[in-house]
Each structure stands twice: as C-alpha cells, then as structure tokens.
Amino acid sequence: MEDVKSSPLECGVAGRALPGFSESGDRHVFQPTREGALIAVVDGLGHGPEAAAAALEACAMLESNAGENVISLIKRCHVGLNGMRGVVVSLASFNFRDSLMTWIGVGNVHGLLLRLDTAMTGGDESLLLRPGVVGSHLPPLHASVLPVFAGDSLILATDGVQVTFDHSYVKSQPPRKAAENLLAQYAKGNDDALILIARYNGMSL
Ligand SMILES: [Mn+2]
C-alpha cells in the first residue's frame, strides 16, 4: 500500500492588477527552506510598473535568502530597495519540525492566523503591523513566534482587498479556491489586490 503524504503547507494565491494596468505591484513568495517554508506578501507603493518592479525585487531577495530570520530579511529588503519604490510586506516563516511560525509585518499587509480548533489553541491571531515602508523608513523590528496546529490557515491580504470577510469560509475550502472566491468578492477595484491562504497540514507520518 502506498502512503499518501500531504504537503506540510498548502498555499493558494489569487491576485489582480488595478484595472487598466498589466502588471500588479502586489506579489507573493512561497519558498521552501531547510526547516519549512517562507511565505510573504509584498505591496509596492502605488501601482503600475515601478510598484511592480520594487515588489519583484523584494520577492527575489526573499526567495534567495528564504532561510534567514524574518528580521534579517526585512533589513535585507530595506537596503536592497534603495533607489526604488518602497514596499510594505508581511512575512511568515514556518518551521515544520517544531510546528512554529515566526511572522512580522511592516506597513499594512493584513495577516491573520485562523485556528481550526479555537478552543484548544486559544483562538485566532492577528499579525501586529508596525507602520513603516521597507526601503524608506523602518519601524523598530519585532517578530512574534507562534505554535501552529494542523488545519490552521494563514491569511495574508494587501490593502486592495476588503478584509472584513467571513473568515470561517476559509476553513471549508481548499486554499486556492478560497483565495479566488474571496478575491472575486472582496477586491476593492481601486488598487492592485492579492490574497494568499496557506493551510498548515503538519508533518504526516
Ligand atoms: Mn496597495
């Protein structure tokens, strides 16, 4: 008999550029690391090609250094974006063996960890966002470390998405489908928009 192993982290993304523009300044990263995976959502300030170029540059730096600490990653992007548009970014680094997530947000990329079992785990968690712009002015950097449990979902969404949606909906849908449906329903239409949903499945034996 063959074992069916599910991936420890299942990621679904939906995004769209501001109508009239071909490139979105909202980008994401889903990069495996030695210990787990790095997830990021980046929003280049404004919209159009310059916003997209800055966001792509930030994502490239995050992808090639994904195993670094999230605070080091923010600093690296801050220095690397010198001379370009700034970006706002939220990062989450997963350690699968220890079932831990370390997250940090600079600017206004909304972050929520939706618990499958709120009674057992103490409830949903919101990412504390510190005002600032990576590449322009950084706030004091503090990251939080949280335990994650199988079935928990991480939601990251840019400010082009109205984030007042019914989060319980996310639990009943595969991540990609949930992201697509939420974007279709809640994209504001006056900015680039991106929503990422990552479901933690844990390490199956
Ligand atoms: Mn935006």
Distance 193 CA to ligand 1 centre (A): 7
Distance 205 CA to ligand 1 centre (A): 40
pLDDT of residue 32: 96
Distance 42 CA to ligand 1 centre (A): 9
Say yes or no to pLDDT of 204 above 80. Answer: no
Rg (CA), the chain: 16
Task: List the structure tokens of 60.
Answer: 């490239």
Say yes or no to pLDDT of 1 above 80. Answer: no
| Mean pLDDT, residues 83-112 | 97
Task: List the structure tokens of 85.
Answer: 């548009």
CA pair distance 136, 132, nearest whole angstrom: 8
The structural domains of the chain, ordered by start, are 9-200 (3.60.40.10)
pLDDT of residue 190: 92
Of residues 102, 198, 107, 106, the one with CA closest to residue 156: 198
In terms of Cβ atoms closer than 10 Å to its own Cβ (0-12, 13-18, 19+), residue 116 is middle
Return the bridge partners of 30, or none. Answer: 39
β strands within 8-131, DSSP E: 9-16, 26-32, 36-44, 87-95, 100-106, 110-114, 125-126, 129-130
Amino acid at 167: H
Distance 18 CA to ligand 1 centre (A): 9
Summarize pLDDT for 122-169 with one digit per residue, the tens. 899 999 999 999 999 999 999 999 999 999 999 999 999 998 887 778
Distance 119 CA to ligand 1 centre (A): 34
Distance 201 CA to ligand 1 centre (A): 30
Distance 97 CA to ligand 1 centre (A): 34
**Overall size of the chain counted in residues:** 205
Say yes or no to pLDDT of 171 above 90. Answer: no
Q: Count of alpha carbons within 13 Å of 185, Cβ hemisphere only?
A: 12
pLDDT of residue 5: 55
Distance 24 CA to ligand 1 centre (A): 10
Say yes or no to pLDDT of 4 above 70. Answer: no
Please spell the DSSP secondary structure of 174-189, one letter per residue: -HHHHHHHHHHHHB-S
| Mean pLDDT, residues 10-16 | 97
β strands within 115-168, DSSP E: 125-126, 129-130, 144-147, 153-157
Say yes or no to pLDDT of 205 above 50. Answer: no
Using 50, 70 and 90 to split pLDDT, how confident is the model at 40? Answer: very high
Distance 162 CA to ligand 1 centre (A): 11
